[in-house]
C-alpha cells in the first residue's frame, strides 16, 4: 500500500519550505554580478569564498530512511574556500553545516601538468560520477553504484596529471581507509584499511575539432584489506532503505574495479559506468576454509538532451534519463542460495532503477531539478516493500551555488 502518497497532509516543516521559496526568488532575481567575494594578493594568493545550499522535496511509495521532515530534506548546506597560493598550489576547504563535517580539505601542488601532488581529504579516484561535483550532477541523486560502491572521500596523498599531450589523465594514491561510502554508521561493521587506488582516463580526440573530441573512457581500481566482520558496504535504495543486509562474514582483500565512458557532443550527452566490489572471505566457511567472495556490482547508462540553446532567456533546460542496477551476491552460484552468514552462494538481491527528469539551470547560481524514479527489487521480501517488486518515488531539488 502506498502509505507515503496517501499521507493527507505531509508533515512539512513550513519554515524550511519558506526558506526554499525565498532562496529561489532571490536567486532568480539576482543580478549577474552577485557572487561571494574573493580576496587576492597579487599572483601569490587568491581566496574564493563559496557556498552551496540544496533542498529536496521527496515522496516515495517506499519508506524513506531518516525522513523526519515528512518529505523535505536539506540535502546540503556547505560553505568553503578555494583558490591558489604561491602560484603552484591550489587548495580547497569545504564544511558541511548540517552534519558539522569537513568535506574536501586538500592542498594540490600543481607546478607541472604531468605530475601534480594532492594531499588531504578528497575523493578516492574511482568512479566518474562520484568524482563529479554534486553541483554538476545531471540527476538529483547519484547512482547506486556511486553512492554505495565508489569509495568517496578519505584522507590520503595522490599523484595525478595529464600526459601524452593531455590525451590521458591519471591519478594514483594511497588513502587511510577506503572512503566514507564504505564506512559504517554502525561501528560493529568493517571497512577497508589502507587503500591504494589508481585511475586512468583517456581522451583520445581531445585535440581534434570533431564531435568525438569530448569522448573519454577509463578505468580505475582500488585495493585494501578488510578485517573480520560484516561489511559496512550496504545495499540501499535511492532513499536509503535496505534491500540486502550484508550480514556475511568477510575477511581479506577488498578490490574495486571501475570502468567509465562519457561523450558530450553538443546538446546531447551520454555516460556509462560499471563498478564491481569484491570482498574476500578467507577462513569463513563452516570448515574454516575460504568462501567465494562477496560481490557487489552494478552499472548505469545515462543521457541528457538540452531542450534550450545556450543563453536562452529562460536559462538552460535539459531532459535526462538513466537506467542503473546494483546487485549484491557472491562469486559462487552453484549451490542453493542461502541467507547464512557463511554461505558460499549468498542469497543476494538487486535493485534496478529507472530515472527520468528535467534540469532547469535558471542562472549560474540556481538549478531546479525534478526526477521521477522507478525502482524494482528482485527479491522484494528483502526490500522496503515486501509485497511489491516495483515502487515509484518523486523528488524535486532546489540548488543554490554561490
Residues that bind other proteins (CB under 8 A): 284-288, 335-344, 347
Nearer to other proteins, 172 or 337 (CB): 337
The nearest distance, CB 249 to other proteins, in angstroms, is: 8
The nearest distance, CB 220 to other proteins, in angstroms, is: 34
The nearest distance, CB 283 to other proteins, in angstroms, is: 8
Nearer to other proteins, 98 or 289 (CB): 289
Q: Please compute Rg for the chain using Cα positions.
A: 22
The nearest distance, CB 189 to other proteins, in angstroms, is: 17
Distance between CA atoms of 1 and 303, rounded to whole angstroms?
Answer: 32
Nearer to other proteins, 239 or 249 (CB): 249
The nearest distance, CB 16 to other proteins, in angstroms, is: 40
Residue carrying the nine cell digits 499521507: 7
Q: Are 79 and 95 in contact (CB under 8 A)?
A: yes
Nearer to other proteins, 201 or 377 (CB): 377
Nearer to other proteins, 342 or 364 (CB): 342
Burial 183-207 (b: 16+ CB within 10 A, else e): beeeeebbbbeebebbbbbbbebbe
Nearer to other proteins, 276 or 281 (CB): 281
Nearer to other proteins, 63 or 337 (CB): 337
Nearer to other proteins, 17 or 379 (CB): 379
Nearer to other proteins, 77 or 342 (CB): 342
Distance between CA atoms of 270 and 249, rounded to whole angstroms?
Answer: 38
Report CA torsion sign: 136, 137, 141, 145.
negative
The nearest distance, CB 123 to other proteins, in angstroms, is: 36
The nearest distance, CB 382 to other proteins, in angstroms, is: 11
Q: Are 78 and 22 in contact (CB under 8 A)?
A: no
If you count them, how many residues does the chain have?
402
The nearest distance, CB 3 to other proteins, in angstroms, is: 20
The nearest distance, CB 288 to other proteins, in angstroms, is: 5
Nearer to other proteins, 286 or 372 (CB): 286
The nearest distance, CB 228 to other proteins, in angstroms, is: 8
Q: Which of 170, 296, 321, 169 is nearest to 243 (CA)?
A: 296
The nearest distance, CB 235 to other proteins, in angstroms, is: 18
Please name every residue paired with 45 in a beta bridge, in sequence order, or none if there are none: 41, 85
Amino acid at each position: 500500500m502506498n502509505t507515503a502518497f496517501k499521507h493527507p497532509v505531509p508533515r512539512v516543516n513550513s519554515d524550511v519550505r519558506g526558506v526554499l521559496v525565498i532562496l529561489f526568488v532571490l536567486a532568480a532575481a539576482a543580478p549577474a554580478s552577485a557572487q561571494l567575494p574573493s580576496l587576492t594578493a597579487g599572483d601569490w594568493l587568491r581566496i574564493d569564498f563559496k557556498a552551496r545550499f540544496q533542498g529536496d522535496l521527496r515522496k516515495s511509495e517506499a519508506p524513506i530512511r531518516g525522513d523526519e521532515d515528512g518529505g523535505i530534506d536539506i540535502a546540503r548546506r556547505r560553505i568553503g574556500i578555494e583558490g591558489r597560493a604561491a602560484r603552484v598550489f591550489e587548495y580547497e576547504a569545504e564544511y558541511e553545516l548540517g552534519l558539522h563535517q569537513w568535506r574536501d580539505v586538500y592542498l594540490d601542488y600543481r607546478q607541472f601538468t604531468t605530475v601534480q601532488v594532492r594531499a588531504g581529504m578528497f575523493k578516492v579516484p574511482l568512479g566518474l560520477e562520484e568524482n563529479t561535483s554534486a553541483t554538476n550532477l545531471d540527476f538529483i541523486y547519484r547512482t547506486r553504484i556511486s553512492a554505495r560502491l565508489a569509495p568517496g572521500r578519505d584522507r590520503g596523498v595522490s599523484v595525478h596529471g595529464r600526459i601524452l599531450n593531455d590525451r590521458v589523465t591519471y591519478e594514483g594514491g594511497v588513502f587511510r581507509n577506503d572512503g566514507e561510502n564504505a564506512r559504517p554508521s554502525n561501528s560493529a561493521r568493517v571497512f577497508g584499511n589502507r587503500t591504494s587506488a589508481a585511475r586512468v582516463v583517456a581522451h583520445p580526440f581531445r585535440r581534434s575539432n570533431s564531435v568525438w573530441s569530448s569522448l573519454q573512457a577509463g578505468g580505475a581500481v582500488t585495493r585494501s584489506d578488510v578485517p573480520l566482520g560484516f561489511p559496512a558496504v550496504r545495499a540501499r535504495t535511492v532513499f536509503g532503505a535496505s534491500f540486502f543486509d550484508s550480514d556475511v562474514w568477510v575477511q581479506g582483500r577488498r578490490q574495486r574495479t571501475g570502468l567509465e565512458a562519457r561523450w558530450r557532443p553538443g546538446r546531447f550527452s551520454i555516460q556509462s559506468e560499471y563498478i564491481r566490489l569484491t570482498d574476500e572471505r578467507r577462513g569463513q566457511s563452516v570448515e574454516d576454509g575460504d568462501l567465494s567472495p562477496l560481490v557487489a556490482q552494478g552499472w548505469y547508462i545515462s543521457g541528457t538532451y538540452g531542450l534550450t540553446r545556450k543563453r536562452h532567456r529562460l536559462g538552460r533546460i535539459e531532459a535526462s534519463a538513466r537506467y542503473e542496477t546494483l546487485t549484491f551476491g557472491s562469486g559462487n552460484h552453484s549451490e542453493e542460495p542461502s541467507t547464512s552468514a557463511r554461505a558460499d552462494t549468498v542469497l543476494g538481491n538487486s535493485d534496478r532503477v529507472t530515472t527520468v527528469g528535467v534540469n532547469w539551470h535558471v542562472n549560474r547560481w540556481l538549478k531546479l531539478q525534478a526526477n521521477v524514479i522507478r525502482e524494482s527489487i528482485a527479491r522484494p521480501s528483502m526490500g522496503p516493500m515486501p509485497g511489491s517488486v516495483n515502487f515509484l518515488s518523486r523528488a524535486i531539488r532546489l540548488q543554490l551555488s554561490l
